[in-house]
Amino acid sequence: MRRSCGSEPFRPAGQRPSPADPSPLAIDVTDTRGQYPDVIEAITLVAIRDRLGAALAPPRQAYRPLWVERRVAGWVADARAARLAGFADVFDVRDDGVTFASGIDTAPARTTALDCVARVLAAEGRLSAWRDERYAVAPEFGAPPWFVLERAAARFLGIHTFAAHVNGIVPGDDRVRMWFARRSPTKAIDPAMLDNVVGGGIAAGQSVAGTVLKEAWEEAGIPADVAALAQPAGAIHICREQPDGLQRETIFVHDLGLPAEFAPAGQDGEVVDHRLVTLPGAARLIAIDDGPDVVTADASLVVLDFLIRHGRIAPDAPGFTALEALRHPPASIRSR
């Protein structure tokens, strides 16, 4: 049986509109069709299709649903379900799914129990590096949570997570350019890889807009009044197997115009460098699958989404249908 892996696309409500007198750092990027003379070569598009088609391939193995209040809260592979069975005071593990043990039936109780489980799993080396940051796990984004969970354990349990990313765009008379950031080599996930200029997971209690403001300053030194002008551009979805579990993520995408004189600068040590490239250069970067200039799969999908939305990849371009499908895959999970 196959079940849906993600959620319906979400457009954030209550996003702050641009003020009447916007900051001089802000550049409008809403009307960009026809302004980009650069051509993305067909060979680059084919390479993007092949690389991201493999990197973002849907899950192949069978998973057991993690049930909460008769709703699916996560998906757990058999090997991980077998380890959860060792926590008999927390989980009831069966062939057809995983539920919480009797008495663990409130959000505080689930949160407390899962914190203990996550710490044991981390000590056993089964999780990525501990983050001291929690994700809210709920029936839908923004709803009262079933529980909150240490971020490092989200993929182990196949939890649906949410993130906000920003394309930093520098318009020009002759060509438009895009900023990339290089992740610190000490990052727990995708160390030293290239990334969007701004991007981060949405922690429990945070909003989409609040995450954009926070990450924009920490990763690029973009002031809050400028980051607030980032234009929401919908959402893309990821559902794929990773070494630490199942990544099920919705990324809320934004575009932010920046002037040529602005240079991003990381503030918290998580970003070590930035690079400004043309749009064909951005396309070539997300086609790379080896070496020091590989862009994370998540960020590559955000860039691809930008190129499609702004007409830089024509509908009759080689592999367009496959590229378009990557943004909103009909992802599903095979249950036991």
Q: What is the pLDDT of residue 24?
A: 43
Q: What is the pLDDT of residue 13?
A: 32
Residues 33 and 79 in one domain: no
Nearest to 318 by CA among 36, 51, 41: 41
Residues 260 and 134 in one domain: no
The answer to whether residue 10 is domain-embedded is no
The answer to whether residue 3 is domain-embedded is no
Q: At what angle do helices 297-309 and 279-287 cross, to 10 degrees?
A: 140
The answer to whether residue 99 is domain-embedded is yes
Decide which of 133, 153, 173 is a domain's last residue.
Answer: 153
Q: What is the C-alpha separation between 26 and 101, in angstroms, rounded?
A: 52
The answer to whether residue 66 is domain-embedded is yes
Q: What is the C-alpha separation between 30 and 169, in angstroms, rounded?
A: 11
Decide which of 130, 153, 176 is a domain's last residue.
Answer: 153
| CA dihedral angle for residue 264, residue 44, residue 175, residue 251, rounded to 10 degrees | -40
Answer for the pair 75, 158: CB distance below 8 angstroms, yes or no.
yes
Instruction: Identify the three-state secondary structure at position 106.
Output: coil
pLDDT-derived band at 330, boundaries 50, 70, 90: confident
Instruction: Identify the three-state secondary structure at position 115.
Output: helix
At residue 329, does pLDDT exceed 60?
yes
Residues 186 and 268 in one domain: yes
Q: For residue 223, which amino acid is it?
A: P
Q: Which two tokens stand for residue 314?
A: 């024509």
The answer to whether residue 166 is domain-embedded is yes
Residues 52 and 107 in one domain: no
Q: What is the C-alpha separation between 275 and 202, in angstroms, rounded?
A: 25
Average pLDDT over every residue of 193-197 = 98
- The number of domains in the chain is 2
Residues 317 and 217 in one domain: yes
The answer to whether residue 19 is domain-embedded is no
Q: Which residue has the higher pLDDT, 175 or 236?
A: 236
At residue 11, does pLDDT exceed 50?
no
pLDDT-derived band at 3, boundaries 50, 70, 90: low
Structure confidence by residue, pLDDT tens digits, 125-144 = 999 999 999 999 999 999 99
Question: Rg for the chain (alpha carbons), in Å?
Answer: 20
Residues 224 and 93 in one domain: no
Residues 54 and 69 in one domain: no
Residues 82 and 208 in one domain: no
Answer for the pair 148, 110: CB distance below 8 angstroms, yes or no.
no
Q: What is the C-alpha separation between 244 and 17, in angstroms, rounded?
A: 38
Answer for the pair 299, 196: CB distance below 8 angstroms, yes or no.
yes
Residues 188 and 218 in one domain: yes
Q: What is the pLDDT of residue 232?
A: 98
Domain encompassing residue 47 = 24-59+161-331
Residues 130 and 252 in one domain: no
The answer to whether residue 72 is domain-embedded is yes
Answer for the pair 36, 307: CB distance below 8 angstroms, yes or no.
no
Question: What CATH code is carried by the domain that includes residue 76?
Answer: 3.30.750.160
Residues 244 and 105 in one domain: no
Q: What is the C-alpha separation between 127 and 174, in angstroms, rounded?
A: 47
Decide which of 103, 133, 153 is a domain's last residue.
Answer: 153
Question: What CATH code is carried by the domain that includes residue 255?
Answer: 3.90.79.10
Nearest to 191 by CA among 199, 180, 183, 179: 183
Share of the chain above pLDDT 90, in %: 84
Residues 140 and 178 in one domain: no
The answer to whether residue 1 is domain-embedded is no
At residue 29, does pLDDT exceed 80?
no
At residue 105, does pLDDT exceed 90?
yes
Q: Which residue has the higher pLDDT, 84 or 38?
A: 84
Q: What is the pLDDT of residue 10?
A: 30
